[in-house]
Amino acid sequence: MLTVTNLSKTYGKQAAVDDISFHLDGGEVVGLLGPNGAGKSTTMKCIVGLLRKTTGEITIGGYDHLSVEAKKFFSYIPETPYVYDLLTIWEHMQFIAQAYGVRDWQPRAKELLELYELDDKEKKLGRDLSKGMRQKVSICCALLPDPQLLFFDEPMIGLDPKAIKNTKLLFKKLKEEGKTILVSTHLIDSVESIADRIMIMKDGKIIGNDTVENLKIQAASGDGLSLEDLFLELTKDE
């Protein structure tokens, strides 16, 4: 579904992403972990086309990631949920439905707004929403086109406990539906229970890429380390 080959992104001499390669199969849920400044968001932004890659190749569903065809495959939930100040929540749904060419979108939109408890606020303008609510709108917008591949960039930031629980449940449901998900986060427990695989990034490089089970085995063999301990061990400064 997603193939990243030798991806690099540099700013001057600074390499934000340093020659990384990975592949996501259809139906796989992968957590992209790493400390602040590891290059997780930059990697994700390069994949979705918000940042220009310096070198490398990225394909989504067999298409170049910048093509319109590739963009029909995925949705992106950004770290900072900006919405249109003067569009209502419902109009955001309408806008996304048009942009992605979704037909009969209303029942799906209602279902999503109910799930995120926005159904009684559908006439609220974007400017009147709190950050958490904007994040919920952002997730609803991403889910409306029913994409095959989802990119979540720090999705839990700003959400209330109920919305976090709903998002975790949603990840499970999407996984059961065979969707591919790449979740970038620095909160290990938010992906531990649902991720098939975890990639750990540090200084722009992938320093660990394995299934959760294998990483746990690795952690257990190392003097009773937890996954969190292993993560901290891998990402600590030399």
Sites of contact with other proteins (CB under 8 A): 48-52, 66, 68-69, 71-72, 74-76, 78, 80-88, 91-92, 94-96, 98-101, 125-126, 138, 141
Question: DSSP letter at 39?
Answer: S
Share of the chain residues as helix, strand and coil, in percent rounded to the nearest 5: 40, 25, 35
Burial class (CB within 10 angstroms; exposed 0-12, middle 13-18, buried 19+) of 24: buried
- State how far Cα 161 lies from the chain centre: 19
* Sheet strands side by side (includes 63-64): 14-24, 2-11, 55-60, 63-64
Q: How far is the CB of 6 from other proteins (least distance, A)?
A: 19
Dihedral Cα 3, 232, 160, 212, nearest 10 deg? 50
Q: From the CB of 96, what's the least distance to other proteins, in Å?
A: 7
Q: Are strands 63-64 and 74-77 parallel, antiparallel or unpaired?
A: unpaired
| Minimum CB distance to other proteins, residue 50 (Å) | 6
Q: Which is nearer to other proteins, 72 or 186 (CB)?
A: 72
Q: Which is nearer to other proteins, 51 or 157 (CB)?
A: 51
CB closer to other proteins out of 87 and 234? 87
230 touches 190 (CB < 8 A):
no
Q: Which of 68/104 has CB closer to other proteins?
A: 68
Q: CA 198 to CA 218: how far, in whole Å? A: 13
Nearer to other proteins, 131 or 173 (CB): 131
Closest separation between CB of residue 150 and other proteins, Å?
Answer: 11
The tokens describing 13, both together, are 């001499």
Nearer to other proteins, 132 or 225 (CB): 132
What minimum distance in Å lies between the beta carbon of 151 and other proteins? 8
Nearer to other proteins, 101 or 224 (CB): 101
Min. distance of Cβ 228 from other proteins in angstroms?
31
For the record, the structure tokens of 8 come out as 């690099």
Pairing status of strand 29-33 against strand 180-185: parallel
CB of 95 to other proteins, least distance (A): 5
Q: Give the tokens for residue 75.
A: 């949705």
Q: Are 113 and 68 in contact (CB under 8 A)?
A: no
